[in-house]
Amino acid sequence: MNDPTEPIRRAMVNEINAEPGSREFLEAKHGQVWDTTQLQQDFEVLGFMAPLIAARRRSDGIKGSLMFQASPRFYFGWSPE
């Protein structure tokens, strides 16, 4: 199976995880940040292909995407469709 997004996503993963940011760093750069528990409370995860997650916001049902870093695991960059 050929995934045309794979090279782009791999580059994004390498960039995000090269120097993982603290929660404070990510908040300053991207705004709101979620840990795994908070993500589960605020979103229904529909699927993922690192470093992106497709999700539905529970408060209003809007679909969109977030990014995540590996460790420490934080989710950020909510972007509605």
pLDDT tens per residue, range 14-44 = 888 888 889 999 999 999 999 999 999 999 9
User: Which amino acid belongs to residue 41?
Assistant: Q
3-state secondary structure of 49: strand
Number of domains, the chain:
1
Report how far Cα 49 is from the mean position of its chain's Cα atoms: 10
Q: Give residue 11's domain range.
A: 5-80
Residue 37 is predicted with a pLDDT of 97
Query: Which among 56, 81, 58, 69 has a CA at the least distance from the CA of 27?
Result: 69
Question: How many CB atoms are closer than 10 A to CB 78?
Answer: 20
Look up the pTM and report it.
Answer: 0.89
